[in-house]
Homo-oligomer: A and B are copies of this chain.
Amino acid sequence: MRQSKLFTKTTKDAPKEEEAKNAQLLIRAGFINKEMAGVYSYLPLGLKVVRKIENIIRKEMNETLEASEIFMPALHPLENYEKTGRENIDVLFRTKLATGRSLVLGQSHEEVVVPLIKNHLFSYRDLPIYVYQIQNKFRNELRAKSGILRGREFSMKDLYSFHSDEGDLEEYYEKSKKAYKNIFKEVGIGEETFITFADGGTFSKYSHEFQTVTGAGEDIIYICESCRLAVNDEIIDESPKCPECGTKKEDLRKEKSIEVGNIFKLKRRFSDPFDLRYTDENGHEKPVHMGCYGIGVGRLMGAVLEVNSDENGMIWPESIAPFKFHLIAIGEKAEKKAAEIYDKMEEDILYDDRNVGVGEKFADADLIGMPYRVVISEKTMENDSVEIRKRWSKEEKLVKIDKLQSHV
């Protein structure tokens, strides 16, 4: 993309009331626009990152977890929440139909997906069923100060699994951990992300969270390095050791972290209130066991950014960067050559063809944070080369122009 075609502008200063580093950087770089606390618009470069994250998630959902994508609405009947006893949870946004019927905005989708599946599930032959969606959630947080880490409106992937018995749920639950690990590795926070034992509510001993270590996190976890596991602060007193190797609380590493995903054995918590049952091989009615598996898309983007940024700006991993290369030309002759390079590699390049000084272009390249900055000048052209600088290591080298495309 030619940067002159980008309607967004970079700015030196973040809005005063924005406290979170992730949102400050994203706003300054023109990736998002703040509408109110916890509510953001995604602008062209930001949306490109979102779509890449979504597609990484989608691939694991479709291939590893064999789930089918669906799309459920945000408007939910309040009656459904009365059935599950969640009609008074405090994060619900409430609204009303013109006819007077009470509605809430979906803060999660158990109350919609269970009645939906009930229309299609009859016999043991229909099980298991795995469905997921990528949809906006609405949570009426009293405070929303963490930028895109905790939004009032935010995109989430939520998968729901339906099983004939607990054993089958258990097996799929284990498989989901693998899919989740693949996702966090692929978006570039595999090293910093730990599977974490957390509260399982009234119906499971534990749930599992995926927690990414960052100073911006609102959670506290105790990490066992050797097992690559952690325990959430909320259960550390009840279970003051690594659940795998038994290392005691005192010897675990305490860190701030952000929850980027969670998986939960719902069992019959939501299927029973809607009387979701199936007929087994012998004609008997049996209860359905459920699991749910969430990843916040915006939150994941924010977590990647909290982990990957420096004083000059953002540093995008190649897998989710809007573009791989940020191309800058110095001097008229180089501009002509840059345009040629750009024409051949449009998809991979953000070409800064703006009529501004080189200093401003360099500063913006650091702020916007494409993985590789590519500079072409009369000097580099003497060697038929460009100078490539890795955004994260600041390592520079000359690369022949015809090798650029194959460069990693």
Contact = CB atoms under 8 A, between A and B. Distances in A.
Interface of A: 5-9, 30, 33, 35-36, 39-44, 47, 50, 66, 68-77, 90, 93-99, 101, 105, 112, 116-117, 119-122, 126, 129, 131, 136, 138, 140-142, 152-153
A41 B71 contact: yes
Contacts of A140: 97-98
Q: Which of A33, A69, A129 has its CB near the most chain B CB atoms (within 10 A)?
A: A33
A7 B117 contact: yes
Contacts of A9: 119-120, 122
A50 B5 CA distance: 29
A395 B80 CA distance: 47
B153 A74 contact: yes
B70 A41 contact: yes
Contacts of A73: 35, 39-41, 136, 153
A97 B91 CA distance: 10
A71 B46 CA distance: 9
B6 A75 contact: no
B131 A98 contact: no
Contact of A95 (B68, B94, B101, B120): B94
B72 A41 contact: yes
Given A69-B47, A71-B50, A120-B7, A142 B35 contact: no
A116 B30 CA distance: 11
A339 B22 CA distance: 50
Nearest to A10: B120
- Secondary structure of the A side of the interface? mixed
A152 B35 contact: no
A90 B99 CA distance: 12
A9 B123 CA distance: 12
A347 B13 CA distance: 48
A84 to B, nearest CB: 16
A71 B47 contact: yes
Given A120-B30, A140-B97, A7 B75 contact: no
Closest 4 CB pairs of A and B: A42-B71, A41-B72, A44-B68, A7-B129
Given A7-B126, A7-B131, A136 B93 contact: no
A129 B4 CA distance: 11
A40 B41 CA distance: 25
Given A7-B68, A75-B152, A97-B152, 9 more contacts: A7-B129, A35-B112, A36-B101, A39-B75, A41-B116, A44-B69, A47-B70, A73-B153, A98-B142
A35 B120 contact: no
Contacts of A7: 68, 117, 120-121, 126, 129, 131
B33 A119 contact: yes
A78 to B, nearest CB: 11
Contacts of A41: 70-73, 112, 116
14 contacts: A5-B68, A8-B120, A9-B122, A30-B120, A39-B75, A41-B71, A41-B112, A43-B70, A44-B70, A47-B70, A50-B71, A73-B136, A75-B138, A98-B141
